């Protein structure tokens, strides 16, 4: 697929940033799913420029692979772009293309599940220093019988300080 040249937004600092964004944009439309997903993740760290590219991939008629990766990248947005990424996904649910709407709905469902998830609540533990071993009620353990007489020692055990020569 041949992509049109993207107009720089003016936020890029230098030529290297523009080249990186172009490279990631091209990789977003690759045939390799792993490459597509990685580029979407890297674009999620690119703030406004990454948001623009991911938004374009989701809302413009592209392959389902690129749309899914764009939704993944929008889900992974952090910081001040997170709300705008969620707004883009909500906008995608009302898109006339059924694939875009479905992908956006699924991404929003994953986002909502992820917000509630996290660490399970832990119960407070008592701050005692040592623990106490207690018997299980209702279960008696048979006690070991005491030995009647001491076991005989082996001949080698009796002379432990002398060395053999």
Q: What CATH number is associated with residue 91?
A: 1.25.10.10
* Total number of domains constituting the chain: 1
**Is the residue at 88 inside a domain?**
yes
Give per-residue pLDDT as tens, 25-56: 889 888 898 999 999 999 888 888 899 999 99
Provide the mean pLDDT of the chain: 80
Task: Give me the domain span that covers residue 44.
Answer: 15-114
- What integer is the mean pLDDT of 2-17? 65
Task: Please tell me the predicted confidence (pLDDT) of residue 9.
Answer: 61
- What integer is the mean pLDDT of 136-154? 71
By C-alpha distance, which of 70, 142, 77, 139 is closest to 99? 70
**Is the residue at 151 inside a domain?**
no
46-55, 62-71, 93-102, 141-150, range with the lowest pLDDT: 141-150
Chain-centre distance for alpha carbon 19: 28
Which secondary structure element, helix H or strand E, spans residue 66, and what is its range?
A: helix 64-75
Task: Please tell me the predicted confidence (pLDDT) of residue 103.
Answer: 93
How far is the C-alpha of 103 from the C-alpha of 69, rounded, in Å? 10
Q: State yes or no: pLDDT of 10 exceeds 90.
A: no
**Is the residue at 81 inside a domain?**
yes
Question: What band does 5 get if pLDDT is binned at 50, 70 and 90?
Answer: low
Q: Could you identify the residue written with the tokens 């990424």?
A: 85
């Amino acid at each position: 697929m041949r992509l049109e040249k993207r107009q720089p937004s003016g936020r890029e600092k230098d030529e290297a940033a523009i080249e990186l964004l172009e490279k990631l944009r091209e990789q977003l439309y690759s045939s390799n799913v792993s490459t597509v997903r990685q580029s979407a993740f890297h674009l999620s760290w690119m703030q406004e420029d990454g948001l623009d590219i991911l938004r374009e991939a989701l809302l413009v008629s592209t392959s389902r692979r690129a749309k899914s990766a764009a939704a993944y990248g929008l889900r992974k947005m952090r910081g001040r772009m997170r709300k705008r990424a969620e707004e883009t996904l909500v906008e995608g649910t009302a898109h006339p293309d059924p694939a875009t709407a479905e992908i956006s709905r699924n991404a929003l469902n994953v986002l909502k599940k992820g917000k509630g998830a996290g660490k399970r609540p832990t119960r407070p533990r008592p701050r005692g220093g040592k623990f106490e071993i207690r018997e299980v009620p209702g279960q008696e353990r048979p006690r070991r019988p005491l030995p009647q007489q001491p076991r005989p020692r082996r001949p080698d055990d009796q002379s432990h300080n002398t060395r053999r020569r």
